[in-house]
Amino acid sequence: MLWIILAYSLLIIQIITIVITEYRRPDKEAAWLVILFMIPLIGFLLYYFLSKKYTCHRILSQKEYSRRESFRADLIDRCNQRIPKNRLAETVSKNNKIYTLLQNKQTLPITACNETTVYTEAEQAFKAILESIAMAKHHIHMEFYIIRDDNLGTQFKQLLIQKVQEGVNVRLLYDGIGSRRLGKAFVKRLQQAGVEIGCFAPPLTTFFNRQLNYRNHRKIVVVDGKIGFFGGLNIGDEYLGKDPSFGYWRDTHFSMKGYAVLWIQYTFLTDWYTVKGQLLTDPTYYPIQETQGKELVQIVKSGPDETILELIFSLIVSAKKRIYIETPYFVLDPSVLLAIKTAVMSGIDVRIIIPGIPDKKLVYYCSLSYVQELLQAGVRFYCYQKGFLHAKVLISDDLACAGSTNMDLRSFCDQFEMNAVFFDGKVVNRLVEDFFTDLNVSQEIALSEFERRPSLQKMKEVFARLLSPFF
- The pair phi, psi for residue 250, each rounded to 5°, is -100, 115
Q: Which of 28, 141, 163, 219 is catalytic?
A: 219
8-state DSSP, 407: B
User: What distance in Å separates the CA atoms of residue 422 and residue 432, rounded to the nearest whole number?
Assistant: 12
Active site residue 333: no
Q: Residue 404 is which amino acid?
A: S
Q: Which of 163, 257, 301, 392 is catalytic?
A: 392
Is the Cβ–Cβ distance between 35 and 43 less than 8 Å? Answer: yes
Active site residue 271: no
Question: Beta-carbon neighbour count of residue 26 at 10 Å?
Answer: 12
User: What distance in Å separates the CA atoms of residue 432 and residue 427, rounded to the nearest whole number?
Assistant: 9
Q: What is the DSSP string of 209-269?
A: TT-TT-EE---EEEETTTEEEEES--BSGGGGT--TTT-EEE--EEEEESTHHHHHHHHHH
Active site residue 434: no
Q: Which of 175, 224, 251, 434 is catalytic?
A: 224
User: What distance in Å separates the CA atoms of residue 462 and residue 365, rounded to the nearest whole number?
Assistant: 8
Active site residue 349: no
8-state DSSP, 418: E
User: What distance in Å separates the CA atoms of residue 265 and residue 299, rounded to the nearest whole number?
Assistant: 10
Active site residue 397: yes
User: What distance in Å separates the CA atoms of residue 154 and residue 185, rounded to the nearest whole number?
Assistant: 12
Give the list of residues 6+ apart from residue 90 with CB closer than 8 angstroms, or none. none
User: What distance in Å separates the CA atoms of residue 453 and residue 199, rounded to the nearest whole number?
Assistant: 44
User: What distance in Å separates the CA atoms of residue 222 and residue 266, rounded to the nearest whole number?
Assistant: 10
Alpha-carbon torsion (352, 357, 360, 361), positive or negative: positive
Among residues 209, 256, 327, which one has the least CA distance to residue 112? 256
Active site residue 390: yes
Catalytic residues: 217, 219, 224, 390, 392, 397
